[in-house]
Amino acid sequence: MAVTIKDVARLAQVSVATVSRVLNASAPVRDDTRARVLAITRDLRFSPNGAARTLKRRQASALGVVLPDLYGEFFSELLRGIDLEAQNAGHALLVSSSHHDARGVSVAVRAMRGRVDGLLVMAPEVSAKSLAGALPDGLPTVTLNTAPTQGACASVTVDNVGGARAMTHHLASLGHRRIAFLCGPSRNADAAARLRGYRAAMRTAGLPVDDTLVLHGDFTEQGGWQAARLLPETSRRRPTALFAANDAMAVGALLALHEAGMNIPGDMSVVGFDDIPIARYVTPSLTTVRVAIDVLGARAAALLFRVLATPVRGGDAHREVVPAELVVRHSCGPPPSA
């Protein structure tokens, strides 16, 4: 029913081989023959069947992108960065989201076999071990922001530790001594890394890491609101600064503290992580850590292409880290006692 290379060949009175050669410029063809073939191709609006081409060439010109979710600006930016790089290389993107557990990732990945040349996998909530089990054997893969795999799998991560450390240091140097940290989901690798950075910086600054200073959150605005709501009622040992593990929670916290009649940053400093666009618009504007998410995506795609280009699948497990940079706005200041 659909027009195939055979139809073109028949009408142009050449063999299918010649048509293929014309379309791919893969071998010399006489000028008049080429012209005839191209004319028919245009007339029939022929375009080669991607599946057949992929099958024969053993290369799909597509990258698989497996994401835990598609909600919010983070993924939008990530995808944009990836797309930019993929488009440059003439590759399409086969995306699949809502895969939170290893099983989900596994089925998504299996469905992609034979239709993509490589995989970009982001699964911050899946342990390294089960992820390794879910990934296929033959397919080059780059993991994004995932707990480090022992397997020989390239990866790109954000410098969560460095960013969190820089932020904590900043707060400490403003004079804060009791700095609370609002965690993300417990199994999330990003969240864990940020907590580590906070802890390390607190130690370096000679500040105690009291367990009551570490609050539990879930990366949602709602969660941030709930966690912060209880804060004003804390006794005199109340923290003077709140470091939320992501901006969404920081925004929620801002809201809660505001509702409780607190002055930010006068009574308490509140800071976040990610620098989502909203961070600039809340009042007071949010001090945070900027992650160039599109760069993260682009770097991951670029790395994947490099892996694809190297003929030998070296087990060197290339690892890249994209920097995270402190952005100081108006939601933090010196502690009230100072």
Partner DNA sequence: TGCGCCGATGTAAACGTTTTCACGCCGACC
Partner DNA sequence: GGTCGGCGTGAAAACGTTTACATCGGCGCA
> In this structure, are residues 213 and 207 in contact, taking their beta carbons and an 8 Å threshold?
no
From 188, 186, 193, 189, select the one nearest 215 (Cα to Cα).
186
Residues 204-223 that bind DNA (CB under 7 A): none
> In this structure, are residues 287 and 293 in contact, taking their beta carbons and an 8 Å threshold?
no
> In this structure, are residues 319 and 163 in contact, taking their beta carbons and an 8 Å threshold?
no
Among 17, 35, 52, 338, which residue interacts with its own copies (rule: CB under 8 A)?
A: 52
Interface with its own copies includes 308 (CB under 8 A)?
Answer: no
**H or E stretch covering 96:** strand 92-96
Distance between CA atoms of residues 56 and 251, nearest Å: 52
Least separation in angstroms between residue 57's CB and DNA is: 5
User: What are 311's two structure tokens?
Assistant: 């003929």
206 binds, among DNA, its own copies, none (CB under 5 to 8 A by kind): none
Interface with DNA includes 17 (CB under 7 A)?
Answer: yes
**H or E stretch covering 270:** strand 269-271
Q: Which 3-state string (H, E, C) describes 204-235?
A: HCCCCCCHHHEECCCCCHHHHHHHHHCHHHCC
Distances in whole angstroms, Cα of residue 206 to Cα of each of 186, 200, 249, 269, 337: 26, 10, 27, 20, 19
Least separation in angstroms between residue 52's CB and DNA is: 3
Considering only 110-118, 166-174, 176-184, 320-328, which stretch makes contact with its own copies by CB under 8 A? 110-118
Distance between CA atoms of residues 270 and 132, nearest Å: 38
Place of tokens 């055979």: 6
Residues 22-51 that bind DNA (CB under 7 A): 23-24, 26-30, 33, 46, 48-49
Interface with its own copies includes 33 (CB under 8 A)?
Answer: no
Least separation in angstroms between residue 120's CB and its own copies is: 13
Q: Name the DSSP class of 285.
A: P
**# chain residues binding DNA, by CB under 7 A:** 30
176 binds, among DNA, its own copies, none (CB under 5 to 8 A by kind): none
Interface with its own copies includes 263 (CB under 8 A)?
Answer: no
Interface with its own copies includes 73 (CB under 8 A)?
Answer: yes
177 binds, among its own copies, DNA, none (CB under 5 to 8 A by kind): none
User: 269 — phi, psi (to 5°)?
Assistant: -90, 145
Among 53, 169, 199, 258, which residue interacts with its own copies (rule: CB under 8 A)?
A: 53
Please give the residue ranges that form the binding site for its own copies (CB under 8 A). 1-3, 45, 47-55, 60-62, 70-73, 75-76, 79-80, 83, 87, 92-98, 110-115, 136-138, 251, 277-278, 281-283
Residues at the interface with DNA (CB under 7 A): 2, 4-6, 13-18, 20-21, 23-24, 26-30, 33, 46, 48-49, 52-53, 55-58, 114
